[in-house]
Structure 1
Amino acid sequence: MIRALLVDDQTLVRQGIRGLLELVEGIDIVAEAADGQEGLDAVIRHRPDIVLLDLRMPRFDGLYLLNALRDGAIDVPVLVLTTFDDDELVLQALRAGARGYLLKDVTLDQLAGAVRTVAGGGTLIQPAITERLLRAVRSGAPLDEAPTAPLTDRELDVLRLVASGYTNREIGEALFLAEGTVKNHVSTVLVKLSARDRTNAVLRALHDGLLG
């Protein structure tokens, strides 16, 4: 059972998302919070497997919660659910440690799949808004400067699937590779791109035009 925490300041939105996810086997909303501080308290109290996080909230927003989790070394995967009305805010959230994001108009199947992927350690960037994110990366604040090394064709194949939210096991099945081999490729990609994690690697690859 995936234990999820839902953080959104709009009561109706929280109720709607909770009602939908209650229809999905294997996902349980263990708590709700209306802002970033309440979310942080709920993470400490309930220790969820994943946080579903809105970014735009009064008082303490989603970025506040992400920074608090990072600064407190609290390792819980965060999936951002947003209307995507602020490109730079989303980029800041990804850089602060969010492992994925979705628009709030996704289907239930897409939402449930994203929850499973991110809770399982994967990274998910919704294809429908990847191009908009790419424009934001290129026009907004630059990524930390760091040298990068060229990727092989196989490493690029792995990186594209990472960007699509595939887990290591799923990448292995898609490319006919052992899961251990995929882990080695992912580690090499992180080193070559000077990226601290999978999400940062995807952002850097988008910035450098490696994903097409």
Structure 2
Amino acid sequence: MPAKQDHDNRDAAASSGWGCDQHDADRSPAPTPTPTLSTEQREVGRAKAWDAGFRLGVSRRYNARLAAHYAGLANLATVTSLVGGSMAFANAVGGVSGAPIAASLAVALASAFSLVFRWADKARSHTDLYRQYTRLQERLVRAGDQPEPSIVHEVLADFLLVEESEPAPKAALIVLCQAEEARSLGAQPDPRLNLRWWQRWAAPFITLPPKGWEK
């Protein structure tokens, strides 16, 4: 008898609609269709992604070159101090006049320049900036050849935050890095941004560019 009552209860529930899976499925919201981008929107998104990648590539090259430049100056000051100190000690022990004074002066100058210009600190700072830009570029690369616009916007926003912490840019060096990055991507750099030989040599030192870039 209880089995017959359970069977009757199931039939009643089915006839009234209670406990019916199909009824619950009919009440579930319909899935939101994925918006499709037009050809023009895809091209705009691809151009923004390329521009973001180019800017990140230039910043990576720029900070890598400055980090190497300042590290070289810091190492040169250290070597000068060691050699000059050794010469001063050896000459003082040997009793040679004049040489200890010159060696001591070289040590003092090398230490003073390293202390005032903080070459080692600048090298570490630009190395850290290089790593931050590398992480941003990694996010962009992982997003694929045609990343979502939201990802590109986030990368550019973080790019501005990192760029804010940089010191005054050395425009001549930026021009060199832009040309190198353009060639690495198969593009031709702007011929109007060519530098003279002395501008290329002094690029890591000067902050503001000359008025004319043409040769």
TM-score range, shorter chain: under 0.3
Larger helix percent: 2
Q: What TM-score comes out, normalization by structure 2 length? A: 0.23
State the TM-score, normalized to the length of structure 1: 0.23
Structure of higher CA gyration radius: 2
Which structure is higher in RCO with an 8 Å CA cutoff and minimum separation 6? Answer: 2
